[in-house]
Each structure stands twice: as structure tokens, then as C-alpha cells.
Structure 1
Amino acid sequence: MFWCEWAWLDGAPRAGVLVDVDGPLIRDVTTVDTPPAGARRLPGLSLPGLANGHSHAFHRALRGRTGGRGTFWTWRETMYAVADRLDPESYRRLAAAVYAEMVLAGITSVGEFHYLHHPSGGRYDDPTAMGAALVAAAEDAGIRLTLLDTCYLSAGFGAPAEGVQRRFADADADSWAHRLEEFTVDSQRVRLGAAVHSVRAVPAEQVPVVAEWSRRAGAPLHVHLSEQRKENEACLAAHGCTPAQLLESLGALGPGTTAVHATHLDERDIAVLGGSGTGVCLCPTTEADLGDGIGPASALAAAGSPLSVGSDGHSVLDVLGEAQAVEAGQRLRAENRGHFTTNAQLAMATAHRGLGWNAGRIAPGCRADLVSVALDGPRLAGVPMAAVPVHARADDVRHVVADGEHVVRNGAHERFPDAAQRLGAVIEELHGT
């Protein structure tokens, strides 16, 4: 049992909440003034576990190393150089430390958009070796993982993959599906999903194979969509329509699909995504870091797209901050305030369903996740309890319970008390410094 000094229940803070846990699930939630004998006390305000809807774990090695002028496309060359150095052993060590950093920030589920499949110029004896490294890393760190195995076939609208891109590429979508069928996951904290890297990296005739696999498996389907204007221009030239419209024509949209970024959309794109119930995962700190632009989040929500957030390139690892940045971006875009309520922002930060998990609420039957935010620091001094979720940040997190396991206590990871040192060491090793 966990007794929360305060907990976020039914859209509002409530004092003295007792959460009874049975294995990885919440069995019961009641209110009591004082903690009963044997209950673990969680001070501050306990929120549902946070969800990171879009991660590339190896991008964490780029933080602080890609400054200066440039665009997404110049940044990509630095990213490729890091990708070329990783193998299953080093990727497990890097990802485990990155996932530990996520847990310390209150994240209990992560969607890993995984396309680093093969060694340069060849194939591993186990074609799922790099994915297996991520599974092991998530188990090490105590985080739930949705491994979004990504189909990547082309350098752009039919051009063959070249250089480091060959690490990412399968021969065709059938080869991708065959590799995925060989992937065996034996964990209650890990599930497989599918991803289309983008319409530029997967030829149109191959997309339905990936979409059908996800439907048949009952698995989430994610896709990078309209992150840069250049992608839209190339898609219009190749197919006479935008990426969203192309995916609609290929049957790849719907409630089981999440479009990542969705930054540069026209009115028809917004209607297509919202009308089909396609989710949208926004990554505002990465989109700002790369100079991508500000997407139409308010219009997408109004059209019917459920919104989530992700840390993507991990220039910042703070899901609460990502949701707050969505609101800030809409204020800058529209030049007015108040686009998303506190509960709407918290819903973005706890959107586990797009990753295939019944989590994100402190309620019976949901995954037993609790994130305790300290209220005694200067950031939250004087902030009304009802406004804490839209002012708290990752470094306010003190306790994390994930699937009923108390993974973070008093700001320290139980399994990785030296998380910072581990992360720093593996990144320095990758860069040869």
C-alpha cells in the first residue's frame, strides 16, 4: 500500500489517498486521513506515471554537442556519426542509463522509435540483437517499453539507403515483418509495436504491409509526419499530395496510429488526422532545438486527435516540461493565452494508451504508477495545488512507483544510484573522449 499526502484523482488534487497495489496493478483507491500501518508514505503531490511517447535513446549522446547554426539536415549528419559507433553491448549500456534518467523524471512508459537494426555493411547473426539490447536496458532501468520497431527502406522517395542509413534499412517491408516475427519478448513490461519511419523512407507501396502487421498484431503504429517543410515538398512532388493525405489513402491512419511531430500541416491534413482519430505526439523541445517550427496542436485537438508528448532527441528529458511547452508554443503561434487546461496538459504527459498500456490514471485496474512531486522547493512555493501539474518539472520528482515497484526514492534511482556517472561514461566512450 502507498499512502499519498496528496494525489491527482478525477481531475483534481485530493488529500490522504491510499493506493492498494496488487502486483503491477492498482487494486483499490480510498481516502484516509492518516497512513495505516505498513503503508509507504509518498509526500507531496502524487501524479499518475508519465509517458514518453517518442524516444530515440541513442540521440541522448548528442546533448550539448550539436550547437551552432544549421538545420535538421545538418544536425542529422552528427546523429549518423553516433549511430555508426553503436553495437548491441554499448547500446544496452547507453539505453539503460537513458531510461534510468527517464525514470528519475517520473516517466514509467516509453515508446522507443527503434531503427538502428543492423551493423554497418552487414547483418547480425541475431537480426533482433539491437532491439533485444533495448528490451534488456528497459528491464535494467525498471521502465515499461513499447518497442516501436521501425521500417526504414529508402534514403528518400525511392532512393536507396546509403552510408550509415544501411544500418537502418531492411530489404523491403516483408523482410522487416519477417524480422519482427522472429522477435520474442518474454516480459510483462515490454511490448512490440510498429513504425513507418516516414513517407520518404518507406515507399508508398510498402506502407500497407506495416499497417496490416500492426492491425493483425493489435500493436500501436507510429510514423514521423511532416516534421520539416522539405518532407512535404518532396511528397507533393512524388505523389501530388501531403504525407498525411498519402497515409490516409494507404489505410495507415486511425485510432491505432500516432503521427509524430505533425508540425507543417494544411487544413485538410488536420481534418484527416482528427477525423480518423489518429493520435499526434508532439516533441516541442526537440522541434525547437532543431528549428523545425511550431505545430497546430490546438487545431489538432479540436479536430479530434488525441495528443501526447515525447522527448525525441532528449535535448531535454522532462515530460511535464514538454506538455507545458505545447501550451507555450500555441500562445506564441496564436498570440493569446489559455489553449490547454491543466487536465489537458496532464493528459498529454500521461498518454500511455498510444503505447498500448492501461495507465495514466490513479484508478483500480490501471498500472500501479505513482510520481511524487515535492512541494517544498522554491519553484512551487505559493503555487495552488490545482496548478502544480503545469508548473512542476522533472527535477521536482522525488519518488516514482512503476508497476507497483518503488523505483525512485528521495530522488535516487534504486537500481542506478550512479545513473549520472554511468550515462556520462558511456557517452564519453562513444565520442572517444
Structure 2
Amino acid sequence: MSLTAQTYWAEHAWLNGVVEPSVIIGTAADGRITAVRTGVPAPPPGSVALRGLTVPGLANVHSHAFHRALRGTVQVGSGTFWTWREIMYQFAAGLTPDSYFDLARAVYAEMALAGVTAVGEFHYVHHAPGGARYDDANAMGEALIRAAAEAGIRITLLDTCYLSSDIGKRGRGVAPNRHQLRFSDGSAESWAERVSALADADHGSHARIGAAIHSVRAVPAAELRTVAQWAQDRAAPLHVHLSEQTAENDSCRSVHGVTPTRLLADHGVLGPRTTAVHATHLSAEDIALLGGSSTGVCMCPTTERDLADGIGPAKRLQDAGSRLSLGSDSHAVIDLLEEARAMELDERLRTRARGHWTASQLLRAATEQGHASLGWTEAGRIEEGGLADLTTIALDSVRTAGPVPRLGAETAVFAATNADVRHTVVAGRHIVRDGTHQLVPDVPTALSDAVAALRT
């Protein structure tokens, strides 16, 4: 990215939980915030006006970019997570490094239009169909990193260990099925060797490399510690799908005699740099293990609703000590404001009570806490020295007009949608200006073309 210093004038800005009017945000050529000043009544000469409510850039903590191609297809008829998975495999089979770049570039541009400035890409489509390696063993991951750069957002590539199709009777894993062969490196040691080469390469300032364990179904217990140790040695984020389905819990108890959470704890996976994704079906002991180890939890409400997974115990997890973050996962929609709102509203449905989180707490999950989960601890706050990543939400649309500006946070969380994102700034660079992407000028066509290529 070619960056220059820039001064932004925010009509309203969310600063440490408080909406302030007329805020100057200075940025430097290194993409950091150099100044934050309140009470400046009009845009100074040479500044860029951000009309609406400016918040820190949104962090989409859990993404499978190619799932975007399923939108409008998997919503037809009935079924379960498992029938959805079969359709997902069909789309995964068609991916190449080139087609994945095209699709991911369009998907990440859609995210930028929705105010997302950083994505956690839970990446497991590593090899060619049948499991053969590309000449560059990390060609698929490199395609995702380049796609994020061209769409103008940051990425934490969570390179995922995926070795087996199920736990198996003795916990040693069942061989991958024909769809899953391209996901597998054969062993955790081979995974670590490949991902180390990826992590040691120079990808530019927009990208960082983390690790992921697909699930206790896909990584045998004996291999878990290898992945956890790799992440620990590199102080990298470590993510894992956890208890998304009751079938996963039943299999784990049947084979190992413990829940998936306990299995992960016993093999050194849990901890402050770890994020459990979904965490839907947990016991009281599971919640205590996650919270007590300061393991984060990423909730993906729109996907969890779309797949009929269930409502996870988000409030109990937070009360136990887990940091909450948000993701759009399968991209049934890409709207972090909806994810934030849904976490509160789903909890209201579950408990028949209101007010589990304030609007500011939900925004923190979508910004500061999300970035921390992805290893971008210097992002997610509008303050001097932080990364100059900003999202501006209109306060004058048909959804947001009416409330007084000081209630902008409440308006953003409980009324606004991705359509209300007016500006997106990444590293001080104006990526989305007045609702138009500056690097990918026709995002709908890019999406249509990339998805159509996978359907042929």
C-alpha cells in the first residue's frame, strides 16, 4: 500500500465508549493515528469529512471466503448442517488459486463496503483436488493474502490443520473423504512445515499468519498439541471450531470420555491467544474451562441461525472470563452490525429478558475485541498511536435518521445495516468513499463473475 499522511474530520466519533462531536483524526504515512482532537466545529482546509458516526474499523473474526458462493443456494428447502456441508464440498472442489483469488477479492471488497477493515480467514482448502500439492504448497493461502491486499483490508490468515473426516473409534481419526483430501497435509508435523514456510514469507504490512484447528473431529487428539505448540512458539493467534453441533460432543464423549472443550484443555489448546468459534453446545464445566483460561469466543449468529445450530451461551462465557468477538462465517450475509445486534437479540429470545450488553459493549466485540482475537492488538480503538482503521456509519438514512447524535452507538448497533456504511479507512487510506469502493469499482459484478465461474 502506498500511504500518505491525511487528516480526517469526523462529524461524530465513538471514542472509548463515548460519542463525541466534531473530531479531528490525524493519520501518518505509516498508517497510524497521530492525533485525536475533539471540538473542531468544521472540517479544516485539506481534511476529509466523514459525515455520520465514525467508529474503529470492524473486525470480521471468522470467515470462509468461498462460502460466499453458496449464498442463495443453501437457503433452498430444508436440511441440516450435514446436508449443507455436502453442498459446500461441491463448491470447494472447484476452487483453484486463480478462481479463489477472484472470489476472495470480491468477498473482501464486499466486507470493506460493510465497514470491515480486518478479516480472520479460517483457511483449509490448501491443495489441489485429490490432495496433490501445487508447485507452491501455499498457493491457495497466498491467493487469499493477495486478494485482501487488492480489496484494501487487513487479513489474519488462520491456516487450518484438517487431517481426518471424523474422530474414529479409537480417537486416531478416520481418513479424509474424497472431498477433504485437498484439505489435509497428512499429519500435524507436515502441516507445521508447510505453514512455517508461509509464515516466514514477507506478505506486507496488511497480513499476519495464525493457526487453526478445524475441530476435534478433523484433528486427532494426538496431533492437537503440535498445532498448539506451533502457535505458542510464534505467539500467533490460534482458532478452533468448537461444539458447533451436538454430534461432535456425542462422538467426543463416546471415544474420549470428555467434551471437546476438555479435550482441547488437556492438550494445551486453550489460552489467551486462542479463540473458540461458535461454542454453541457447552456444559457448565466447558464454560468454566474457556473463561478460566481466558480463551476468547467468536460468535457467528447469522450463520448459527442459518444452519439451525442453536444459540450459544455468550453471556455466560463473557461472565466466566472469555473475550467475545464476531464473525460472518458462511457469509449468509456480511454485516457485522447485524452480528452485534443478533448476539443481544438472540440472548433476549433465549432468556426472555432484555439488556444483556450495551451498544458500546457490542461495538467493542465488533472492533477492539475482534482485532485482539486476530492478533492486531494495536487496532480497534481511535487513539493516538493506534492503526488508522475507521468505519463511518450514516446517521441520516431511512434506518438511522431520528435519534439524537449522542445515541449514535445505539442507532448503529440496533438499527443500522451494512448499507449504512458510508466510509471505510484502512491504514489511513480511504478504501470506501461515500459508499463506493475505490479499488474494486464494481463489486457486484466481481462477485457475480467469481461465483458464476464456480458454478460452471
Matched, 1:173 2:203: no
Q: CA deviation at 1:86?
A: 0.5
1:33 maps to what in 2? 41
- TM-superposition CA deviations, 1:207-255 (whole Å, max 9, x none): 1010010011110000000000000000001110101111111111010
Of 194, 202, 205, the residue aligned with 1:188 is 205
Matched, 1:149 2:159: yes
Cα separation, 2, equivalents of 1:306 and 1:384: 30
1:2 maps to what in 2? 8
Q: Equivalences for 1:118-267 in 2 at 5 Å?
A: 118-121=127-130, 122-157=132-167, 158-183=173-198, 184-267=201-284
The one-letter code of the counterpart of 1:25 is: R
SS at structure 1 position matched to 2:356: coil
Matched, 1:378 2:386: no
1:84 maps to what in 2? 93
Q: Equivalences for 1:296-307 in 2 at 5 Å?
A: 296-307=313-324
1:422 maps to what in 2? 446
Q: CA deviation at 1:186?
A: 2.5
Q: Equivalences for 1:206-355 in 2 at 5 Å?
A: 206-350=223-367, 351-355=370-374
SS at structure 2 position matched to 1:291: coil
Of 414, 420, 442, the residue aligned with 1:396 is 420
Q: CA deviation at 1:128?
A: 0.2
SS at structure 1 position matched to 2:212: strand
The one-letter code of the counterpart of 1:256 is: R
Matched, 1:14 2:20: yes
1:356 maps to what in 2? 375
Q: Once the two structures are aligned, what percentage of the paired residues are identical?
A: 55
Greater mean alpha carbon deviation, residues 309-318 or residues 357-366: 357-366
Change in Cα spacing, 1:234 to 1:428, as seen in structure 2 (3 Å) is: same
- TM-superposition CA deviations, 1:110-158 (whole Å, max 9, x none): 0000000000121111100000000110011001000000000000111
Matched, 1:431 2:446: no
Q: CA deviation at 1:64?
A: 0.3
- TM-superposition CA deviations, 1:303-332 (whole Å, max 9, x none): 110000000000010001101000011001
Change in Cα spacing, 1:126 to 1:364, as seen in structure 2 (3 Å) is: same
SS at structure 2 position matched to 1:415: coil
SS at structure 2 position matched to 1:156: coil
2:103 maps to what in 1? 94
SS at structure 2 position matched to 1:147: strand
Cα separation, 1, equivalents of 2:304 and 2:220: 25
- TM-superposition CA deviations, 1:370-402 (whole Å, max 9, x none): 111111111112224322232221110011111
Cα separation, 2, equivalents of 1:343 and 1:189: 27
Cα separation, 1, equivalents of 2:380 and 2:263: 32
Indicate if the aligned counterparts of 1:223 and 1:259 stay in contact, CA closer than 8 A. yes
Indicate if the aligned counterparts of 2:57 and 2:391 stay in contact, CA closer than 8 A. yes
- Count matched residues: 432
Indicate if the aligned counterparts of 1:359 and 1:367 stay in contact, CA closer than 8 A. yes
SS at structure 1 position matched to 2:10: strand
Indicate if the aligned counterparts of 1:185 and 1:191 stay in contact, CA closer than 8 A. no
- TM-superposition CA deviations, 1:342-361 (whole Å, max 9, x none): 11110111120100112111
The one-letter code of the counterpart of 2:17 is: G
SS at structure 2 position matched to 1:159: coil
1:42 maps to what in 2? 50
SS at structure 2 position matched to 1:295: coil
Cα separation, 1, equivalents of 2:403 and 2:63: 31
- TM-superposition CA deviations, 1:388-417 (whole Å, max 9, x none): 232221110011111110000110000111
SS at structure 2 position matched to 1:258: strand
Cα separation, 2, equivalents of 1:388 and 1:9: 16
Cα separation, 1, equivalents of 2:381 and 2:124: 31
Q: Which runs of 5+ in 2 are unaligned?
A: 1-6, 168-172
Cα separation, 1, equivalents of 2:13 and 2:47: 15
The one-letter code of the counterpart of 2:72 is: G
Cα separation, 2, equivalents of 1:117 and 1:321: 31
Cα separation, 2, equivalents of 1:383 and 1:166: 53
Cα separation, 1, equivalents of 2:165 and 2:202: 30
The one-letter code of the counterpart of 1:163 is: R
The one-letter code of the counterpart of 1:14 is: E
Cα separation, 1, equivalents of 2:441 and 2:102: 15
Q: CA deviation at 1:38?
A: 1.0
SS at structure 2 position matched to 1:398: strand
Cα separation, 2, equivalents of 1:422 and 1:36: 37
Cα separation, 1, equivalents of 2:275 and 2:33: 27
Cα separation, 2, equivalents of 1:384 and 1:424: 39
Considering only aligned residues, what root-mean-square deviation do their CA atoms show, in Å? 0.8
Cα separation, 1, equivalents of 2:401 and 2:433: 22
Cα separation, 1, equivalents of 2:187 and 2:77: 37
TM (norm. structure 1) is: 0.99
